[in-house]
Amino acid sequence: MSGRTLLVTGGTGFVMSVLGRLWLEADPQASLVVLDAAPLDRAAERYFAPVAPRLRVVVADVTRPQEWQSALADAAITHVVHGATITPLSRGTADEARREPEAENPGRIIDVNVMGTVALLEWARSRATVERFLYVSSGAVYKHHGPDRVGEPLPEDGYVMPRRLYGISKLASELITERYGELFGLSTAAVRPSSVYGTMDRVTASRNFRHVPHRIAHLALAGAQSVRVNTLDAVGDYIHVEDVARAIIALLQAPRLRYSAYNVALGATASIAEIVAWAAEKVPGFRAELVPPEHAELLQDPQLKDGMWGAYDISRLRAETGWTPRPMREALHAYMDWIVAERDAEREAGIIGDPPLASIGKDLKGVPPSRRN
């Protein structure tokens, strides 16, 4: 990887910022170019500070190549990870469950999530230095049910049937990316993360959803005695963002890619009860309190246990790259340690209410139409 340059779209946000930093930490000779409609916020500036000399940020809308093509003209980009997206998820509380965020600006969702991909692929196919193009898709492409044999993890092949614009746009971009690779001899693949939490998860202009582990960890560390839930049995395949980033880097480094799509997940589900218990190991006394749905801070549907909501099959990625995620208990504890360290850094800097620690417990969300990255 030495001396290679990675272009990441959406790199000032959540998952892609972590990917960018881990790429730079893995090789002191590597470089990173971030293309994002938003500049680095204060949280991102602090996060990238140790590797800032090898980072370049281009602020532009990915759907408007005239704004960014000239800025990339002199960059010898060798690898591309396209993660820029609009994630129109319901906040999921009892009140917000009545709201359909996709109805607010459906054209913009399609424009960014599909035509943004086309714009970047058009650019990449004309660049002789680009060796690999990875598209960051989502588990939202899957059905709500499957596989056919109960208890098996969800494989990449089959069971794909998105019903909402987010998942539809993700699947369309997967197929477009694959076809561009075939047409122009470009090494391409898509990654499908399950429910991602962890380092740098905060509200941004394109994403304001936080998964169950995020909310439980923040509430526990904020001093709450309990989290009000409507069920202890709801589950999810939750994966730490740093494990996602390591998986993507492994695919970028692989000599060749055998498949067009790869699940990136824990490969197992965890329940609310388990996550609360693990958080209580760090914050003794923290517990879950069962309440009616209308009073729940954490509103989840315990019936959603398979399909996109269940465990994902990660054998394809593991076999091809050797990657494996950390156990969730270990990853959650590492995330809680990071939250504490970040909070301390904010206090030292005299920052109040700076993301990702702002509004802890004030904007809790439950089951959205799609819980993906």
Domains of the chain: 5-209+237-265+306-326 (3.40.50.720)
Mean pLDDT of the chain: 90
Please give the pLDDT value at position 177: 98
Instruction: Take residue 155 and report the two structure tokens written for it.
Output: 């494989």
The pLDDT-based confidence of 370 (bands split at 50, 70, 90) is very low
| DSSP label at residue 103 | G
Please give the pLDDT value at position 371: 33
Q: Which of 90-94, 171-175, 233-237, 313-317 has the lowest mean pLDDT?
A: 90-94
pTM: 0.91
Query: Does 373 have pLDDT greater than 90?
Result: no
The predicted-structure confidence for 201-224, as pLDDT tens digits, reads as follows 987 766 667 889 999 999 999 999
The pLDDT-based confidence of 253 (bands split at 50, 70, 90) is very high
Number of Cβ within a 10 Å radius of residue 315: 12
The pLDDT-based confidence of 150 (bands split at 50, 70, 90) is confident
Q: Which of 107-121, 239-253, 343-357 has the lowest mean pLDDT?
A: 343-357
Indicate the helix (H) or strand (E) that contains 59. Answer: strand 55-59
> CA 59, CA 68: separation in Å to the nearest integer?
8
**Residue 89, Ramachandran bin (φ over 0: left; ψ between -120 and 50: alpha; else beta):** beta
Reported for 68-73, long-range contacts at CB under 8 A and 24+ positions apart, including other chains, are 68/35, 69/123, 72/7, 72/33, 72/35, 72/123
Instruction: Give mean pLDDT, residues 153-166.
Output: 95
Please give the pLDDT value at position 366: 32
Of 370 and 335, more confident: 335
> CA 322, CA 318: separation in Å to the nearest integer?
5
Indicate the helix (H) or strand (E) that contains 247. Answer: helix 241-253
| CA–CA–CA angle 223, 229, 230 (5° rounding) | 170
Backbone angles phi, psi at 16, to 5 degrees: -70, -30
Backbone angles phi, psi at 209, to 5 degrees: -110, 140
Query: Does 303 have pLDDT greater than 80?
Result: yes
Q: Give the three-class secondary structure for 267.
A: coil
The pLDDT-based confidence of 357 (bands split at 50, 70, 90) is very low
Please give the pLDDT value at position 277: 98
Query: Does 69 have pLDDT greater than 50?
Result: yes
Task: Give yes or no for a contact between 114 and 174, defined as CB atoms under 8 angstroms apart.
Answer: no
Please give the pLDDT value at position 102: 87
Residue linked to tokens 């892609």: 16
The pLDDT-based confidence of 234 (bands split at 50, 70, 90) is very high
Task: Give yes or no for a contact between 55 and 108, defined as CB atoms under 8 angstroms apart.
Answer: no
107 Cβ contact partners less than 8 Å away, ≥ 6 residues apart: none
The pLDDT-based confidence of 151 (bands split at 50, 70, 90) is confident
Answer positive or negative: Cα dihedral of 272, 276, 277, 278: positive
Please give the pLDDT value at position 285: 98
Least Cα distance to 295 among 91, 92, 94 occurs for 94
Indicate the helix (H) or strand (E) that contains 36. Answer: strand 31-36
Instruction: Give mean pLDDT, residues 128-154.
Output: 95
The pLDDT-based confidence of 349 (bands split at 50, 70, 90) is confident
Instruction: Give mean pLDDT, residues 38-45.
Output: 94
Burial classification of residue 347, based on how many CB atoms lie within 10 Å of its CB (0-12 exposed, 13-18 middle, 19 or more buried): exposed
Query: Does 362 have pLDDT greater than 50?
Result: no
Please give the pLDDT value at position 368: 32
